[in-house]
């Protein structure tokens, strides 16, 4: 039996640490498709709620283009003003479609309640995407309750 070396043990540790951050980071994802119409937009309502981890402090979204040759796909998220939180919005774009990588994260500060999420594209080809979203505590250390409803499918 071969003894593990420090290099192999630390490599596995680094992989597990990275995987714990990226592989398990997403509580929810939604696969969708935008038609060929250049103005095609999908709209969602993401509802965040308090759970055993605490109250919602932000929504994090990312987008990944699944299609190989498609226009750039973007996601925008917005929470309307409430009595305790100003309205805020943010967006992010997958810079290379079909490469398996997703966009940088967009963080939308907010409180328990509804966030409006829109997915659109930059051109007239159809585009398939994966929307990753997660309601989180204010510092992002834990997930809070999350639900999603499709409002518009183009």
pLDDT at site 79: 93
Looking at the DSSP assignment, which residues form a beta bridge with residue 116? 45, 78
Task: Quote the domain boundaries for residue 100.
Answer: 27-152
Q: What is the pLDDT of residues 72-119, one digit of tens each?
A: 999 999 998 878 778 899 999 999 988 989 999 999 998 899 999 999
Is 73 contained in some domain?
Answer: yes
CATH number of the domain within which 128 lies: 2.60.120.510
Looking at the DSSP assignment, which residues form a beta bridge with residue 130? 31, 64
Domain total in the chain: 1
Q: Output the pTM of the full model.
A: 0.79
Is 9 contained in some domain?
Answer: no
Is 59 contained in some domain?
Answer: yes
Q: Which of 47, 46, 23, 54 is nearest to 143 (CA)?
A: 54
Residue linked to tokens 């990588």:
101
Tokens representing residue 13 in the block: 């540790």
């Amino acid at each position: 039996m071969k003894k593990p070396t420090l290099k192999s043990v630390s490599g596995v540790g680094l992989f597990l640490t990275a995987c714990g951050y990226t592989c398990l980071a997403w509580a929810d994802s939604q696969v969708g498709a935008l038609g060929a119409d250049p103005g095609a937009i999908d709209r969602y309502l993401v509802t965040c709620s308090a759970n055993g981890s605490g109250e919602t402090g932000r929504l994090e979204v990312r987008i990944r283009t699944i299609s190989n040759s498609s226009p750039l796909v973007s996601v925008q998220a917005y929470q309307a003003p409430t009595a305790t939180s100003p309205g805020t919005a943010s967006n992010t774009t997958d810079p290379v479609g079909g490469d398996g990588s997703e966009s940088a994260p967009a963080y939308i500060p907010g409180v328990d309640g509804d966030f409006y999420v829109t997915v659109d594209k930059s051109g007239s080809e159809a585009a398939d995407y994966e929307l990753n979203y997660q309601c989180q505590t204010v510092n992002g250390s834990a997930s809070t309750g999350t639900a999603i409803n499709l409002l518009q499918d183009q």
